[in-house]
Structure 1
Amino acid sequence: MQYISTRGGALGQFCDVLLEGLAPNGGLAVPERLPQLSTDDLERLRLLTYPQLATAIIGLFATDIPREDLARLCESAYGGGKFAAEEIVPLSDIGEGMTLVGLSEGPTLAFKDMAMQFLGEALEHVLEKSDRVLNILGATSGDTGSAAEHALRGRERVSVFMLSPQGRMSAFQRAQMYSLQDENVHNIAVEGVFDDCQNLVKRLSTDLEFKRAHSLGAVNSINFGRISAQIAYYVWAWLRVTDTLPEAERAGFEVSFAVPSGNFGNILSGHYAKSMGIPIRKLVLASNENNVLDEFFRTGHYRPRNAENTLATSSPSMDVSRASNLERFVFDLLGRDPERTAAAWHELEERDEIDLSSELHRFESEFGIVSGTSTHDDRLSTIREFSANNGVLLDPHTADGAKVARDHVEDGVPMLVLETAKPAKFADLITEALGTTIELDAETRALLDAPQRVVEMAHDEQQLRAFISERALS
């Protein structure tokens, strides 16, 4: 499997793009072609455990990793008791025609663990094989940072430089990151919002001289290794829903997915799963008040906001106004034409907007993508109603997904809501919604009370360059 940039040019194979992050021309790595899954393929996958399924799906993209090595990496990522649920991704009925896809059973209680645990194993494997080191430069709005750091902590060939926006994450999220004392983990709290952090990462990552001198890589969702690992749980969820159907009814049986979305990586994986042959009827994109993506899928106009207009909300992991992964979808929308994609992003740089309204009719009819917005009051009421009516406790981001999903539930089409995190990570909001205080367990109290190690930094590119230069592995 070869990879190309969304803006043109060959990038090599899976292991190459795993280490590189952004393409030299600023584009994102995408497969030269998407593999296809037939009905027979899906039936063969049905009998596999989650680590085995992940091996099969990721193996379609990572053809340069020997299958026995990949199986070992997936077993290490998803086995060994790292995930609380035996099946890794449990499915449960939450009422109103919806099923919760339990993606938050991992070590940091967030769906990001599903990809990061694999990525940590894969990076170590590739670096050992090539006798290299890697300095990960990333940005987080909440859960990505802790999942990446917990997957990479203590690894000899990797250092992590993780940027987060000062005061924009929950206390639990900050504690999960900043309490880590490993020498290879560097937390940097930047003055500003997530998009400021993300822009700093992009500026350093597109400076090829600095990137190569300091062996910079990425674990944000621009890393295709994460996307490939996330495709696996869409396949798993479809298989589990159709397990109870007579074999004759399984082929082509459609489900819909509701996906809380900030940086567009999670739902992009669903888009790829659908393109590969998983019978997905709708991909329901749920935005919070920073609803740039909702506006795009309703109007065809992509208008990222600046830092001043990016709101701090009660679903902070979605406080994103410039979705990095949207470029991969636009690449497909524009017929996988790198010249048209590059022109669209040049338009964005010139006008702070991309006008793709001429393609609007295709968003739902061809790609199945619909969207909606959830507000603070919406998520409070959604948490309250699901708790009272169905005995289910949702975190604020998953509540956004459930709220928007309600408008798209169809008879005979299961609506699968992707869980993003455990409610305990957002205890203050749960308390506000339910009027009762969540009783913290001893482990959580110890985490919140642990000493924290973080460097506060101005939104200053030169200061960040100097910080990395002094501490990067070489």
Structure 2
Amino acid sequence: MEYISTRGKIGKIGFIEAFMMGLADDGGLLVPSEIPVISEATLKEWQSLSYQELVFAIFSHYTNGEIPEADLKAMIAASYGTFRHPEVTPVRRIRDDLYLLELFHGPTFAFKDIALQFMGQFYSYVANQTGKKIHILGATSGDTGASAIEGVKGKEGIKICILHPTGKVSKVQELQMTTVQDDNVLNLSVEGNFDDCQRMIKELFADLDFKSANHLAAINSINFVRILAQTVYYFYSYFQVSKATGKWEPVNFSVPTGNFGDIFAGYVAKRMGLPVGKLILATNENNILERFIHEGVYMPGDFRMTYSPSMDIQVASNFERYLYYVLDENAAEVERLMNQFKIEGEISIPEGAHLKVQAEFAAHGVGGQECLDTISDYQAKHDYLLDPHTACGVSAADRCSEEGEMTIALATAHPAKFDEAIRLCGIEQKFPAEIRVLFEKPQRQTFVDGKLEDVTKELVQFYNA
């Protein structure tokens, strides 16, 4: 397996090189030169695997043998040994046609742990193997930062800087990032919103001289390894539901979506042969992706703060990867459209491509009151407390799935991370001990204006200290 850029100017490179490059050097995103298709017979054999064994089976199709088998298995064991549930991502039946895939049993109580615990191990492995400095740089709308920091804090040879928008993450998300006292961690609280943070990250990675001089490595979902790690739980949850129902038939997945990474992982799983029906894209009032599914137009609107802050994103990093596939892997056309988007702030896809989008995806934008009503309704009817992002996914599942269709909704975070929204529903919850103690710890973060030069100054000082 080799890796290429969605913009066509990066030749075929290996797995470790793709991991370390992060954002492609031509400004595009790295994708496999081909997506392996797994036979139904093999998929049915995979049904009996543990989560860790399934990670190994899937990654083995992508790593080209660049990582010795024993080393890869050791990284996988270390990555998921910190999870609070033995199945890592257990599946919970809510009703006959709806299951929840619980992705919040990792150390920071969010789905980002699934990929970022592995990536932390992988970065440490590369640092030890090569002796090179690794300076991780990322932006977060809340969960990525905490998970990434948890994955690499205190690790020798690695420094990590995370940008988050000031006042636009939940209090628990902020505390999970800023109470970490390890010297290899820098939190930059940036004036602006997540899109501003993400834009600066992409500009810094696109500056190849700066990227090289500062040994930058990517932790956001621009890194394909993060996408690959997230494909695993689509397979795992399908297998659990199939065993529970005794059926082998297409299943819908409903995914709370901001940066298009998590749902793109489901798209990859489907292309690999997993029997996926509709991929249901759940957004909030920041609904650029819903409009794209419905109209074929990709154009940001006005940024809005919502009860589901991790989805408060207008410009989705992974959209370009899907654009590459829906345009039949035409890298030149992808580059033209992305350049047009940079200049004009809007692109449209041809009618034929839009028909393919609508055949693969459904979408629903969940308003604030609908989100809160869903939390209250599922607590009352099913005695299950949804976090506001999961509530968006469940609401979209209810609206977009046809009668009789089986749907797995991704439960992306523990509700304790978003108590602000839960309290608005008149619900009092008990915080897990790991979250309660955060409120007693001192915070450490650096506040900066939303200007690239101010961020750059902090980065250079931190990385070269």
Normalization by structure 1: what TM-score? 0.95
Read off the aligned partner of 2:356 and give its amino acid letter: R
Structure 2 counterpart of 1:462:
453
2:124 matched to 1:124? yes
Superposed, 1:319-468 pairs within 5 Å as 319-358=312-351, 359-365=353-359, 368-433=360-425, 435-440=426-431, 442-468=433-459
CA separation of 1:462 and 1:406: change in aligned 2, threshold 3 A: same
Note the C-alpha offset of 1:444.
2.7
Assess, with a 3 A threshold, how the Cα gap between structure 1 residues 419 and 245 changes in structure 2: closer, same or farther. Answer: closer
Alpha-carbon contact 1:143-1:317 (below 8 Å) kept: yes
Q: Measure, in 1, the Cα distance between the counterparts of 2:14 and 2:113.
A: 24
Supply the distance in 1 between the matched residues of 2:62 and 2:138 (Cα, whole angstroms). Answer: 23
Cα shift at 1:17: 1.3
Secondary structure at the aligned position of 1:128 is classed as: helix
Between the aligned partners of 1:357 and 1:427, the Cα distance in structure 2 is 43
Q: Does 1:277 align with 2:273?
A: yes
User: Is 2:294–2:358's contact at 8 Å kept on the other side of the alignment?
Assistant: no
Alpha-carbon distance, 1:342 to partner: 0.4
Name the count of aligned residue pairs.
Answer: 462
1:256 aligns with 2:248: no
Please give the secondary structure, in 2, of the residue aligned with 1:343: helix
Residues 228-243 of structure 1 aligned to structure 2 (within 5 Å): 228-243=228-243
Paired AA for residue 295 in structure 2: T
C-alpha distance in structure 2 between counterparts of 1:113 and 1:191, whole Å: 26
CA distance in 2, matches of 1:103, 1:170: 18
1:331 maps to a residue whose letter is Y
Instruction: Give the Cα separation in 2 of the matches to 1:59 and 1:347.
Output: 37
Question: Which of 76, 79, 87 matches 1:77?
Answer: 79
Give the drift of 1:245.
Answer: 5.2
1:6 and 2:2 correspond: no
**Partner Cα distance (2:372, 2:392) in 1:** 9
* Secondary structure in structure 1 of the residue aligned to 2:384: coil
- How many Å apart are 1:462 and its aligned residue? 1.4
Instruction: Give the 3 Å change call, closer, same or farther, for CA 243–436 of structure 1 in structure 2.
Output: closer
Provide the rounded CA distance (Å) in 2 between the counterparts of 1:411 and 1:466. Answer: 56
Q: Contact conserved, 1:134 with 1:157, CA < 8 A, in 2?
A: yes
Contact 2:284–2:366 (8 Å) recurs in 1 = yes
Q: Which amino acid aligns with 1:402?
A: V
Distance 1:441 1:415 in 2: 29
Residue in structure 1 matched with residue 25 of structure 2 by the alignment: 24
Mapped partners of 2:321, 2:348: distance in 1: 16
Decide whether the 8 Å contact of 2:263 with 2:281 is kept in 1: yes
1:92 aligns with 2:96: no
**What percentage of residue pairs aligned between the two structures are identical?**
38
Instruction: Give distance in 2, aligned partners of 1:442 and 1:241.
Output: 31
How big is the shift at 1:438? 2.4
- Using the TM superposition, name which of 208-217 and 459-468 deviates more: 459-468
Q: For residue 199 of structure 2, what is the aligned residue in structure 1?
A: 199
Is this contact kept in 1: 2:416–2:432, CA < 8 A? no
2:287 corresponding residue in structure 1: 291
C-alpha distance in 2 between matches for 1:383 and 1:357: 38
Q: 1:357 Cα shift?
A: 4.8
Matched letter for residue 296 of structure 1: F
TM-score (norm 2): 0.97
Which residue does the alignment assign to 1:266?
262
- Kindly provide the CA deviation profile for residues 109-136 of structure 1, in whole angstroms up to 9, marking residues without a partner as x: 0000000011111111122212211111
Deviations 1:422-445 (A, max 9, x none): 001111211111x13323455433
In the TM superposition, what is the alpha-carbon distance from 1:461 to its structure 2 partner? 1.2
Query: Distance between the aligned counterparts of 2:397 and 2:146, measured in 1?
Result: 28
* C-alpha deviation, 1:398, in angstroms: 0.2
**Runs of 5+ consecutive residues of structure 1 not aligned to the other structure:** none
* Whole-angstrom distance in 2 between the partners of 1:45 and 1:436: 40
User: Do 1:11 and 1:29's aligned partners in 2 also have CA atoms closer than 8 Å?
Assistant: no
CA distance in 1, matches of 2:265, 2:33: 16
Contact 1:19 1:218 in 2 (8 A): yes
CA distance in 2, matches of 1:146, 1:96: 35
Structure 2 spans left out of the alignment, 5+ residues: none
Residues 222 and 318 of structure 2 are in contact (CA less than 8 Å); yes or no, is this contact kept in structure 1? Answer: yes
| Structure 2: distance between partners of 1:59 and 1:19 | 18
Aligned-residue offset at 1:302: 0.1
RMSD value over aligned CA atoms? 1.4
For residues 436 and 226 of structure 1, what CA distance do their matches in structure 2 show? 34
